[in-house]
Amino acid sequence: MPLFYQQNINANTRLAIWKIEETEEFFSGTVPLQREITHPHKRLQHLAGRYLLRFLFPGFPYHEIIIASTRKPFLPDEQFHFSISHCGDYAAAIVSSTDRVGIDIEIPTAKVLRIVHKFLSKQEQEAFGINHLDLGHQLPASGIQHPTLLWSSKEAIFKWWGNGEVDFREMIRLEKFVLEAKGSFNASFQEYPLQIEYGLFDRLCLAWVATSTTDEVI
Ligand SMILES: CC(C)(COP(=O)(O)OP(=O)(O)OC[C@H]1O[C@@H](n2cnc3c(N)ncnc32)[C@H](O)[C@@H]1OP(=O)(O)O)[C@@H](O)C(=O)NCCC(=O)NCCS
């Protein structure tokens, strides 16, 4: 069973990463395909992400999932809040009965350096030391893991928000932190304080965020 990573965050919130080594039939035996996905690997990723929802919470009601106009999947009665990500041969999901959640996984590649100016503000680029890159010649001191994690963190916040239309540079702020294999750091979404939790694996970067649904968000 290629469970790559699992974390029970608290009694109500769990996350897992799956390394996809199975064929489509393994997942489609339990997971309904809600929409047509023509690309076979994308279909496999989608099924693996959905598979994790019931893996984490066995009673997860697949048939009640609705897709919002922003493409965010959700349950109308909010019995569970959940977020899904996939990249390469990995799928990840976070599910909670109490918390609003967002998750993202990324395989670090140098491509992220080409888009730092699109998702980091000038201040963030300076704070994290990845501004004025002579792309192709110079990597930031932390290599590509650090910028990948920053990208992944903003994607996780985008999914946590779930309402689309987010200017990553202006609306999401990440505060400086010391990069470790596993940790957390402060961030904000339009002044609303958030804590990003992250983990760096050999070839994979994970970021997630969870806040109580009783907290009022903007
Ligand atoms: C939606 C988005 C976050 C998906 O990220 P991705 O890296 O392409 O793909 P991931 O595998 O990590 O995530 C895909 C999953 O996110 C979920 N998702 C899709 N849209 C979502 C939304 N608006 N809110 C929350 N979750 C969403 C879905 O579960 C989807 O998987 P599924 O279709 O199999 O269920 C991304 O495409 C996006 O739009 N990002 C914002 C881009 C942006 O505004 N950039 C500006 C700065 S460059």
Closest-CA residue to 97 (of 163, 157, 10, 16): 10
Q: Are residues 173 and 85 in the same domain?
A: no
Question: What is the amino acid identity at position 47?
Answer: L
Ligand 1 center from residue 159 Cα (angstroms)? 7
Whether 104 lines ligand 1, by a CB cut-off of 6 Å, is yes
Residues 90 and 111 in one domain: no
Measure the CA angle with vertex 191, ends 186 and 197; round to 5°.
25
Final residue before a domain boundary, out of 99, 128, 158: 99
Q: What is the distance in A from the centroid of ligand 1 to the CA of 137? A: 30
Position 43 in a domain: yes
Note whether 111 and 39 are same-domain residues. Answer: no
The answer to whether position 217 is within a domain reads no
Query: Which domain, by its residues, includes 80?
Result: 3-99
* Confidence grade of residue 217 (pLDDT, cut at 50, 70, 90): confident
CA-nearest residue, atom 33 of ligand 1: 46
Overall domain count for the chain: 2
- Quote the CA–CA distance of 113 and 110 in Å, as a whole number: 6
Q: Among 31, 64, 99, where does a domain finish?
A: 99
Instruction: Report CA Rg, the chain.
Output: 17
For the CA of 155, the nearest atom of ligand 1: 3
Whole-angstrom Cα distance, residue 106 to residue 96? 22
Does 218 reside within a domain?
A: no
Average pLDDT for 32-55: 96
pTM score, whole prediction: 0.95
- pLDDT of 64 over the 60 cut: yes
Q: Please indicate whether residue 158, judged by its CB atom, sits closer than 6 Å to ligand 1.
A: yes
Task: Express each pLDDT in 164-207 by its tens digit.
Answer: 999 999 999 999 999 999 999 999 999 999 999 999 999 999 99
Q: Are residues 92 and 144 in the same domain?
A: no
pLDDT tens column, 81-138 = 999 999 999 999 999 999 999 999 999 999 999 899 999 999 999 999 886 555 555 6
Q: Give the count of beta carbons closer than 10 Å to the beta carbon of residue 55.
A: 19
